[in-house]
Structure 1
């Protein structure tokens, strides 16, 4: 198993279909990059969300990315209907590319069962052709968890901090029957087992370039 260092990441674009997608799936990545790279530049994009939910997302981004230089593009396309707004989603991705040329892009996985997530995942590589793209996973009722090929081991304190911040940042979601420590830490524990760590987050990367010094 080979390693890829995130120490060189100076800029990121984070893409979510809905508020809380990014932090549920990649909160450990956010905490890790912010700790390794103080002042990292991050452009944070959501496709959907009410004003209340978008306010939660702004607070979550600040909590998960302390010290980062944050910019936001929070859109109000209809939840659950993104495939009917294909062109608008493509436009907002091109707008994001004009804001920042990132070292890393994080977005949903192509095999995600939710149509909003899947559309975003399919369009991202058509816009960000020269960037490293990590496709994250979101546990959900659909049962669409799959094999992944990139792992980020998380120290215990980072995994626990992620869960703590999820609860603090998204109080609107606490009544959901799946919103609990066992779901978040359970998936992290399984992915950790797969990469010889206690906890981890897992991603897909469909294309990467190896460069010699």
Structure 2
């Protein structure tokens, strides 16, 4: 169903959220001819481990999204302070409206509105406001999603899962501090989601709105 969409927008509160939540789907949609834009709202300099440049996540997200096939001009990196999005709700909403007019997406990927991380929740709720007449799917981040409705399963190949893993491997500053960044976890989750619906691999999404 979502393969019909050709102008897609991925909203990542922090660099790497989009790759974790829908990296395989991004890769597949691009291979099928879709244009994908990716907005990272924070490059999280406060979260960079000692020994890395404070702006390392800027270069890492550029490399990771390039692996998925996203063109450099379609990557948009904003500078909101991590864990302070709730104080900037109106500015975030206004940014989203600007991107809506500029990009005019027909499908938007967002975190779950039930995500327990305050930044993720802010992006999700403001996106629902900004794109209230568009198709919206929430991607899964199980370490933050204590409540998540598995409404739509998107079939993926092993190559697409490997592309997702390759993209995530570009986040060298983050791998050591995030247990869920392991290949076993990422590939295993895709395998579990696929098995639930008789597929080899899948990413699952919560439907916020699908217009036919």
TM-score range, shorter chain: 0.7 to 0.9
Bigger drift between 183-192 and 109-118 goes to 183-192
What is aligned with 1:135? 138
Question: Tell me, which stretches of 5 or more residues in structure 2 are unaligned?
Answer: 46-54
1:183 to partner: Cα distance = 1.6
Q: Hey, what's the Cα distance between the residues in 1 that align with 2:146 and 2:8?
A: 26
| 8 Å contact kept, 1:41–1:70 | no
Structure 2 residue 178 is the aligned partner of structure 1 residue 174: no
Structure 2 contact 30–69 (Cα < 8 Å) conserved: yes
**Which of 13, 17, 34 is matched with 1:17 structurally?**
13
What's 2:36 paired with?
42
| C-alpha spacing 1:145/1:55, structure 2 compared with 1 (3 Å) | farther
| Structure possessing the higher relative contact order (Cα contacts under 8 Å, 6 or more residues apart) | 2
Paired residue for 1:56?
Answer: 60
CA deviation after TM superposition for structure 1 residue 111, in Å? 1.1
Tell me the equivalent position of 1:109: 112
Structure 1 residue 144 displacement after superposition:
2.4
Measured on the aligned residues, the alpha-carbon RMSD in Å equals: 1.8
Unaligned runs of 5+ in 1: none
Q: Given the superposition, is the C-alpha separation of residues 72 and 22 from structure 1 closer, same or farther in structure 2, using an over 3 Å criterion?
A: same
- Total equivalences in the alignment: 201
| Aligned partner of residue 55 in structure 1, secondary structure | helix
- Evaluate the alpha carbon distance shift between residue 143 and residue 205 of structure 1 in structure 2; reply closer, same or farther with a 3 A threshold: closer
Q: Is the 8 A contact 1:108 1:118 kept in 2?
A: yes
Q: 1:95 corresponds to which residue?
A: 98
1:73 and 1:139, CA in 2 relative to 1: closer, same or farther beyond 3 A? same
**Residues 18-77 of structure 1, C-alpha deviation per residue, up to 9 Å, x if partnerless?**
00000011001111011111xx333221111143212211221111026x5742331111
